[in-house]
Amino acid sequence: MLLMTAFQLLCAACVFVKQEELSITLVYIFFGYIAAEWIYMLIGTLVTHNDYFELEAIAFFLSGIGLTVCASFSESYALKQLIAIGLGLAVYLIMLLLIKDVRFACMLRYPAAIGAVGILALNLVLASSINGTLNWIDLGFFSIQPSELVKILFILVGAVSLDKLLSMTSLTKYVIFSLGCVGALFLMKDFGTALIFFFTFILIAFMRSGNIRTIVLICAVALMGAMLIIYFKPYVANRFAAYRHVWDYMDTSGYQQTRVLIYSASGGLFGLGIGEGYLRDVYAASTDLVFGLICEEMGLIVALAVLLSFAGIAFFAVRSAKSSASTFYAIAAVSASGMLLFQLALNVFGITDLLPLTGVTLPFVSRGGSSMLCSWGLLAYIRAAGAPFEAPKPDISVRKTPKKPIKNPAPKGGTA
């Protein structure tokens, strides 16, 4: 916490130096955020009587980098991001309470499934097209991306459905639910989120069955479906025409990726300085391209720290799943961390042209309220499998059974 606080104060100082006149609002935002971190840790330690908060510390570290990026753009961005972090933390705590009891979590299965399908259906009706996708609903004073919130429900339904797979009926219902979610996302043309949902479905199914042949069959069917979509709707393939050929389209469809490759390399180990980068002038610099902006302005060292932070989350999930009190917690923790890692891969490898650019956000770091709420909500599944909710350890003390007294027979003709 001390090292993280020192790093965040250094980031705040870099933002303040770039301003012509010191913004009191940004001072309140940074120091308020740091104070909130310490208050949460101290209260958590007093309430739970342990200092087992590595997972939250990682989330605060990543969220703090995102807050710094937003503050380097404008006060309004920073204030909205701070509010999003606060709401995300609230979602995190609420989710911990809801899934603390496995039986109560199982009762939420059908409401969560109905809610997820209803949200996606409402999205199809009300969403307006932005950059060719129908994944944003404008509420006037702010916009939301419903598919991000559905990720939390998707994990819950999957973990509960496959916690106790007593019949094929349970599996069939979950497959239908998953196909409905992925299909709705394809209709929205949100292919990146559809891939994330499909990957999570595969991960959950494999954890419960362990049957590689079944997983390969599912992937083959999905690949055939994708080929049919491309055949009947060729404009879908046009969105990925620049993949592996971004330098041939550097002023059109490959503009963002080529600028990321150029500017991120120029940052070196320590970066050009917060607010000094050229990538910030490119569209979506604080959302989809934020990892490239971190490489350019904060340097490769901070960028690697971001990647290692997600590796830490995955390690925490796997370690906690091995000792979790229920199969539900194990499935939920590993699938939630897998979803975060896969989204990280799509973002980082997409902007560097190692994978097709799908336009997904970097969890905890990218600017946006919906993404922040989803990231903290998924973190709750990983935390729930950890120490505070572990099953009480069985009493392994050896119970000594009193031995029957051995009778010493008296010798013949005498006394004992």
Rounded CA-CA distance 218/85 in Å is: 37
Counting other chains too, the contacts that 18-25 makes at CB distance below 8 Å and 24 or more residues apart are 18/72, 18/274, 18/275, 18/276, 23/75, 25/75, 25/78, 25/79
- Helix count and strand count (H, E) for the chain: 16, 3
Asked whether 8 and 64 are in contact (CB, 8 A), the reply is yes
Torsions phi, psi for 168 (to 5 deg): -70, -20
pLDDT on residue 399: 43
Asked whether 204 and 158 are in contact (CB, 8 A), the reply is yes
Counting other chains too, the contacts that 166-170 makes at CB distance below 8 Å and 24 or more residues apart are none
Asked whether 377 and 95 are in contact (CB, 8 A), the reply is yes
Identity of the residue numbered 32:
G
Asked whether 194 and 185 are in contact (CB, 8 A), the reply is yes
pLDDT on residue 233: 59
pLDDT on residue 395: 41
Identity of the residue numbered 205:
A
The two tokens of residue 376 are 């903290």
Give the residue among 344, 356, 353 at the shortest CA–CA distance from 291: 344
Question: Could you state, in order of their start, the residue ranges of all structural domains in the chain?
Answer: 1-98+240-388, 102-239
Residue-wise pLDDT tens for the chain (416 aa)? 999 999 999 999 999 998 888 889 999 999 999 999 999 999 988 887 776 788 999 999 999 999 999 999 999 999 999 999 999 999 999 999 999 888 898 899 889 999 999 999 888 888 777 766 777 787 766 778 888 999 999 999 988 877 665 455 667 778 888 888 888 888 888 888 888 998 888 888 777 666 676 667 667 666 666 665 665 556 556 667 778 888 988 888 889 999 999 999 999 999 999 999 999 999 999 999 999 999 999 999 999 999 999 999 999 999 988 888 788 899 999 999 999 999 999 999 999 989 888 889 999 999 989 999 999 999 999 999 875 443 444 444 444 444 445 454 544 444 44
Rounded CA-CA distance 246/54 in Å is: 39
Number of C-beta neighbours around residue 220 at 10 A? 10
Rounded CA-CA distance 175/48 in Å is: 38
Rounded CA-CA distance 245/409 in Å is: 98
Distances (CA, A) of 340 to 51, 148, 196, 197, 405: 25, 12, 9, 11, 64
Give the residue among 213, 202, 212 at the shortest CA–CA distance from 178: 202
Give the residue among 364, 356, 366, 343 at the shortest CA–CA distance from 289: 366
**What 3 state SS string does 37-73 have?**
HHHHHHHHHHHHCCCCCHHHHHHHHHHHHHHHHHHHH
The two tokens of residue 243 are 């993949």
**How many Å separate Cα 106 from the centre of its chain?**
22
- Is 408 strand, coil or helix? coil
